[in-house]
Amino acid sequence: MTLNERRTALIFGGARGISAASARKLAEDGFDVAFTYVSRPDRASELVSEIEAGGQRAIAIQADSADPQAIEAAVRTTVEKLGAIDTVVVNAGILRTNMVGEVSLEELDLMIDVNIRGVFLAIQAAAAKMKDGGRIITIGSNTAERTGMQGASVYQFTKAAVAAMIKGLALDLAPRHITVNNVQPGPTDTDMNAGALEYLSGRSPMKRVAHPSEIAELVSYLAGPGSSYMTGSSLTIDGGWVL
């Protein structure tokens, strides 16, 4: 494969959970992969080594998705080291739970900054350096459509905002044949849910939570040629969660 034939994916969202699973799967699909992380450089380094051992190039970029300059720098670094972007996956997000009367302004602003503003800015920056015909994939949440849980109202509305956002972005980028789609997982075995896996499994019709690799399979489909006519869609993958 020549340099001009290589495909590049940029993943915003860390070296763990759904982001790491998506990085592994896209590398398996033949992408060189750049990914951002905020903490745990040891895990980031391990993921880079794992992908490189499989024959693909990989770079880890420390970047906070609440920082617009860090987002732009991540895109710039990816292009400089791996080439123009074919696929971007935006999985950066945070969850803070509090009942409505206890939500602080700082907590509210942080979730909006990362879960909404950061998603938009990542797409804006990446699209400017993306090949025509590329793929943009956001990782939202089934709470955009399902009832969530007490104390998660802010998180829930940020994920509903992402589901609405991608519809307009899909229209903006359609002339370039860039598709924009949103994956909405239900509870998944990630660090975010580490303390509640038993509870969440009990509420699931399938009596389990998702494995990150199952979410990554849907990311892989949306990054591939078979999804070329799908855009502006939110795809829920939550084991039939009904509450």
Mean predicted confidence (pLDDT) in 119-148: 93
pLDDT in tens, 223-238: 999 999 999 999 999 8
118: pLDDT confidence band, cut at 50, 70 and 90?
very high
Higher pLDDT, 202 or 16: 16
Would you say residue 145 lies in a domain? yes
Would you say residue 184 lies in a domain? yes
Would you say residue 205 lies in a domain? yes
CATH number of the domain within which 50 lies: 3.40.50.720
Mean predicted confidence (pLDDT) in 15-39: 94
Q: Is the pLDDT of residue 115 over 90?
A: yes
Q: Domain tally for the chain?
A: 1
Residues belonging to the active site: 155
Q: Is the pLDDT of residue 24 over 70?
A: yes
pLDDT in tens, 179-214: 999 999 988 887 666 667 777 777 778 788 889 999
Would you say residue 242 lies in a domain? no
- Provide the domain limits for residue 141: 3-237
Q: Are 66 and 73 in contact (CB under 8 A)?
A: no
